[in-house]
Amino acid sequence: MPQGRRGAPRAVTIADVAREAGVSRATVSRAINDSDLVTAETKRTVQEAITRTGFVMNARGRALATGRAETVGVLITEPLDELFDDPTYGRVLRGVAEGLLGSGFLPVIIQASSESERALALRSFGRRSVDAVIHLTPYRGSDLLGSLAGAGLPVVLCGQLVDSPYEGIFSTVYSDDVRGARLAAQRVATAGRHQVAAVLGPADNPATGDRLRGYEEVLGARLDPARVVHTRWDSAGGLTTTARLLVAHPGIDAILAGSDRIALGALAALQAAGRRVPEDVAVVGFDDHAIAASASPPLTTIAQPLVEEGRIAAQLALEMINGADPRTEVLDMRLVPRLSA
Amino acid sequence: MPQGRRGAPRAVTIADVAREAGVSRATVSRAINDSDLVTAETKRTVQEAITRTGFVMNARGRALATGRAETVGVLITEPLDELFDDPTYGRVLRGVAEGLLGSGFLPVIIQASSESERALALRSFGRRSVDAVIHLTPYRGSDLLGSLAGAGLPVVLCGQLVDSPYEGIFSTVYSDDVRGARLAAQRVATAGRHQVAAVLGPADNPATGDRLRGYEEVLGARLDPARVVHTRWDSAGGLTTTARLLVAHPGIDAILAGSDRIALGALAALQAAGRRVPEDVAVVGFDDHAIAASASPPLTTIAQPLVEEGRIAAQLALEMINGADPRTEVLDMRLVPRLSA
DNA sequence: CTGTTAGCGCCTTCAC
DNA sequence: GTGAAGGCGCTAACAG
Chosen domain end from B22, B38, B66: B66
B81 within domain boundaries: yes
Q: Do A109 and B106 touch (CB under 8 A)?
A: no
**pLDDT score recorded for residue B1:** 35
Enclosing domain of residue B109: 71-175+307-332
Confidence band for A80, pLDDT divided at 50, 70 and 90: low
In one-letter notation, the amino acid at residue B50 is I
Residues B32 and B20 in one domain: yes
Residue A290 has pLDDT above 90, yes or no: no
Q: Long-range pairs for B38-45 at CB < 8 Å and ≥24 separation?
A: B45/B21
Give the residue from B71, B129, B289, B327 with the most A CB atoms within 10 Å of its CB, the best one to mutate.
Answer: B129
- Strand-strand pairing, A334-336 and A301-303: antiparallel
Tell me the average pLDDT of chain A: 92
B339 within domain boundaries: no
A54 — phi, psi (to 5°)?
75, 30
Residues B185 and B293 in one domain: yes
Across B203-212, average pLDDT:
89
Per-residue pLDDT tens for B74-129?
999 877 666 655 677 888 999 999 999 999 999 999 999 889 999 999 999 999 99
Confidence band for B7, pLDDT divided at 50, 70 and 90: low
**pLDDT score recorded for residue A1:** 33
- CA gap B118, B83 in Å, rounded: 17
Determine which of A85-94, A98-107, B187-196 has the lowest per-residue pLDDT on average.
A85-94
Q: Is A100 on the interface with B (CB under 8 A)?
A: no
B42 within domain boundaries: yes
Q: Is A141 on the interface with B (CB under 8 A)?
A: no
A170 within domain boundaries: yes
Per-residue pLDDT tens for B305-330?
999 999 999 999 999 999 999 999 99
The whole-model pTM stands at 0.88
% of residues, chain B, pLDDT over 90 = 82
- Widest pairwise Cα distance in chain A: 88
A340 within domain boundaries: no
The CATH code of the domain that includes A210 is: 3.40.50.2300
Residues B145 and B216 in one domain: no
Is B164 (CB) below 7 Å from strand D? no
Is the link from the previous residue into B297 a cis peptide, with omega within 30 of 0? yes
Residues B99 and B48 in one domain: no
Determine which of A78-92, B90-104, B206-220, B234-248 has the lowest per-residue pLDDT on average.
A78-92
Nucleotide nearest to B67 (CA to C1'): C8
Residue B64 has pLDDT above 90, yes or no: yes
Residues B196 and B267 in one domain: yes
Burial class (CB in 10 A: 0-12, 13-18, 19+), A213: middle
- CA gap A39, A76 in Å, rounded: 46
Residues A58 and A85 in one domain: no
Residues B123 and B81 in one domain: yes
Per-residue pLDDT tens for B122-173?
999 999 999 999 999 887 667 899 999 999 999 999 988 877 789 899 999 9
Closest alpha carbon to A46 in A75, A77, A24 = A24
Confidence band for A82, pLDDT divided at 50, 70 and 90: low
Closest alpha carbon to A133 in A222, A87, A193, A73 = A73
**pLDDT score recorded for residue A5:** 39
**pLDDT score recorded for residue A6:** 44
Residues B99 and B217 in one domain: no
Confidence band for B8, pLDDT divided at 50, 70 and 90: low
Closest CA in chain B for residue A13: B127
- CA gap A14, A32 in Å, rounded: 10
Dihedral over alpha carbons B51, A326, B109, B73 (to 10 degrees): -60
Residues B283 and B313 in one domain: no
**pLDDT score recorded for residue B80:** 67
**pLDDT score recorded for residue B2:** 36
Per-residue pLDDT tens for A114-152?
899 999 999 999 999 999 999 998 876 678 999 999 999
CA distances from B234 to A305, B210, B240 (A): 28, 19, 11
**pLDDT score recorded for residue B79:** 72
Is A328 (CB) below 7 Å from strand C? no
Please tell me the total count of domains within chain A: 3
Residues B170 and B87 in one domain: yes
Residues A79 and A163 in one domain: yes
3-state helix, strand, coil in chain B (%, to 5): 45, 15, 35
B84 within domain boundaries: yes
Confidence band for A83, pLDDT divided at 50, 70 and 90: low
Q: Could you count the other beta carbons within 10 Å of the beta carbon of residue B239?
A: 21
Q: Is the dihedral of CA B161, B162, B164, B165 positive or negative?
A: negative
Residues A223 and A105 in one domain: no
In one-letter notation, the amino acid at residue A88 is T
DSSP per-residue letters across A9-46? -----HHHHHHHHTS-HHHHHHHHTT-TTS-HHHHHHH
A5 within domain boundaries: no
Determine which of B72-81, B190-199, B246-255 has the lowest per-residue pLDDT on average.
B72-81
Confidence band for A161, pLDDT divided at 50, 70 and 90: confident
Across A287-298, average pLDDT:
91
Nucleotide nearest to A27 (CA to C1'): D2
Q: Is A185 on the interface with B (CB under 8 A)?
A: no
- CA gap A202, A205 in Å, rounded: 6
A339 within domain boundaries: no
B305 — phi, psi (to 5°)?
-80, 75
CA distances from A5 to A114, A244, A304, B155, B166 (A): 34, 65, 47, 10, 12
More confident residue, A160 or A315: A315
Per-residue pLDDT tens for B24-48?
999 999 999 999 999 999 999 999 9
- CA gap B181, B259 in Å, rounded: 11
**pLDDT score recorded for residue B4:** 37
- CA gap A293, A155 in Å, rounded: 35
Residues lying close to strand C (Cβ under 7 A), chosen from 51-90 of chain A, are 55, 57-58, 60-62, 64-66
- CA gap B253, B240 in Å, rounded: 18
- CA gap A20, A27 in Å, rounded: 12
Residue A85 has pLDDT above 60, yes or no: no
CA distances from A70 to A73, A152, A157, B56, B149 (A): 10, 17, 19, 20, 24
